[in-house]
Amino acid sequence: MKKYKVHFSVFNLFSDSQSEVVKLQQLFKSISAAVVGTVWYESNSTYALYVAIGGAIIDVFLSCFYFEPMDSKK
């Protein structure tokens, strides 16, 4: 299993995303889309919009991460 050192910087928004970050964002987007659909079905569209906005904010937050691979030498 790969080990990473996680870095957070707002400047990562302006550079290309790593494949690990993209996979994490896609996973979160699919989960949040299911939650938005469920909230819309069970209540009303106002709450679904709140959940969708929260999901978009978290998606932008996730794009600020940078994973640096660590050497697994012992």
Q: For the chain, give every domain's residue range.
A: 4-10+21-69
> Which residues of the chain register pLDDT less than 70?
73-74
Could you give the residue ranges of the DSSP H alpha helices within the chain? Answer: 19-42, 45-62
Give residues with Cβ within 8 angstroms of 7, minimum separation 6: 65, 66, 67, 68
33: amino acid identity, one letter: A
pTM score? 0.79
Q: What is the pLDDT of residues 40-54, one digit of tens each?
A: 999 989 999 999 999
